[in-house]
Amino acid sequence: MTAVNAAADLSLEGDVAVLTIDSPPVNALSERVREGIRDGILRAQADPAAKAIVLICAGRTFIAGADISEFGKPLKGVSLPEAQAAIENCSKPVIAAIHGTALGGGFEVALVCHYRVAVPSAKLGLPEIKLGLIPGAGGTQRLPRLIGPEAAAEAILSGTPFSAKQAKAWGVVDELVEEGKLREGALAFARAAIASGAALVKVRDRDDKVAPARGKPEIFVGLRKAHAKKNRGFEAWTRALDAVRDAVELPIEEGLKRERAAFMELLVSQQSKAQRHVFFAERQVWKIADIADDTATLPIRRVGVIGAGTMGGGIAMNFLNAGLPVTIVETAQGALDRGLGVIHKNYENTARKGRMTDAEVESRMGLLTPALDLAALGDCDLIIEAVFEDMGVKKEIFAKLDKIAKPGAVLASNTSYLDIDEIAASTSRPGSVLGMHFFSPANVMRLLEVVRGAKTDKPVLATAMKIAKQIGKIGALVGVCHGFVGNRMLSERQREAQKLILEGAMPWDVDRVLYDFGLPMGPFAMSDLAGLDIGWSKERTSSSTIREILCEQDRRGQKTGAGFYDYDAQRNAKPSALVEKIILDFAASKGINRRAISDQEILERCLYPMVNEGAKILEEGKAQRASDIDIVWINGYGWPVYTGGPMFWADGLGLDKVLAAMKGFEAEMGEDFKPSALLEKLVAEGRGFKDL
Binding footprint of ligand NAD on the chain (CB under 6 A): 306-312, 329-331, 335, 386-389, 393, 397, 414-416, 438-440
Q: Are 54 and 186 in contact (CB under 8 A)?
A: yes
The nearer residue to ligand NAD, 66 or 328, going by C-beta atoms, is 328
The nearer residue to ligand NAD, 141 or 414, going by C-beta atoms, is 414
The nearer residue to ligand NAD, 308 or 623, going by C-beta atoms, is 308
Q: Are 642 and 274 in contact (CB under 8 A)?
A: yes
Q: Which residue is nearest to ligand NAD (CB)?
A: 309
The nearer residue to ligand NAD, 397 or 489, going by C-beta atoms, is 397
Going through 135-189 in order, the beta strands assigned E by DSSP cover 162-163, 175-176
Going through 192-285 in order, the beta strands assigned E by DSSP cover none
Given the residues 35, 88, 108, 259, the one annotated as active site: 108
- Shortest Cβ 226–ligand NAD spacing (Å): 32
Give yes or no: 362 in active site.
no
- Shortest Cβ 186–ligand NAD spacing (Å): 52
The nearer residue to ligand NAD, 376 or 660, going by C-beta atoms, is 376
Distance CA(632)–CA(251), nearest Å, equals 45
The nearer residue to ligand NAD, 389 or 656, going by C-beta atoms, is 389
Q: Are 21 and 11 in contact (CB under 8 A)?
A: no
Distance CA(139)–CA(155), nearest Å, equals 11
Backbone angles phi, psi at 468, to 5 degrees: -60, -45
Which residues 6+ apart lie within 8 Å of 520 measured at CB?
638
Closest Cα partner for 376 from 297, 292, 304, 439?
Answer: 304
Distance CA(267)–CA(239), nearest Å, equals 12
Question: How many residues would you count in the chain?
Answer: 692
Q: Sign (positive/negative) of CA torsion 177, 178, 182, 187?
A: negative
The H or E element containing residue 369 is strand 368-371
Q: How many helices and strands in the chain, by DSSP H and E?
A: 27, 20
DSSP helix/strand/coil, 443: coil
- Shortest Cβ 323–ligand NAD spacing (Å): 24
Give yes or no: 175 in active site.
no
Backbone angles phi, psi at 162, to 5 degrees: -120, 160
The nearer residue to ligand NAD, 23 or 415, going by C-beta atoms, is 415
Q: From edge to edge, which strands make up the β-sheet containing 162-163? A: 101-103, 123-125, 162-163
Closest Cα partner for 145 from 225, 243, 38?
Answer: 243
The nearer residue to ligand NAD, 381 or 449, going by C-beta atoms, is 449
The nearer residue to ligand NAD, 389 or 580, going by C-beta atoms, is 389
- Shortest Cβ 356–ligand NAD spacing (Å): 24
Q: Which amino acid is at 71?
A: F
Given the residues 88, 128, 496, 503, the one annotated as active site: 128
The nearer residue to ligand NAD, 140 or 346, going by C-beta atoms, is 346
The nearer residue to ligand NAD, 125 or 304, going by C-beta atoms, is 304
Burial class of residue 489 (count of CB atoms within 10 Å of its CB; 0-12, 13-18, 19+): buried
Q: Are 49 and 15 in contact (CB under 8 A)?
A: yes
- Shortest Cβ 313–ligand NAD spacing (Å): 8
Which residues 6+ apart lie within 8 Å of 630 measured at CB?
277, 278, 281, 639, 644, 645, 646, 647, 648
433 to each of 401, 426, 661, 680, how far by Cα in Å? Answer: 11, 10, 41, 36
Closest Cα partner for 222 from 189, 246, 245?
Answer: 245
Alpha-carbon 420 to chain mean position: 28
- Shortest Cβ 137–ligand NAD spacing (Å): 44
Q: Are 303 and 382 in contact (CB under 8 A)?
A: yes
- Shortest Cβ 393–ligand NAD spacing (Å): 6
Which residues 6+ apart lie within 8 Å of 98 measured at CB?
62, 110, 116, 117, 118, 119, 122, 124, 164, 173, 182
Backbone angles phi, psi at 553, to 5 degrees: -90, 15
Alpha-carbon 14 to chain mean position: 48
Closest Cα partner for 104 from 79, 123, 85, 82?
Answer: 123
The nearer residue to ligand NAD, 342 or 592, going by C-beta atoms, is 342
- Shortest Cβ 335–ligand NAD spacing (Å): 4
- Shortest Cβ 312–ligand NAD spacing (Å): 6
Give catalytic residue positions: 108, 128
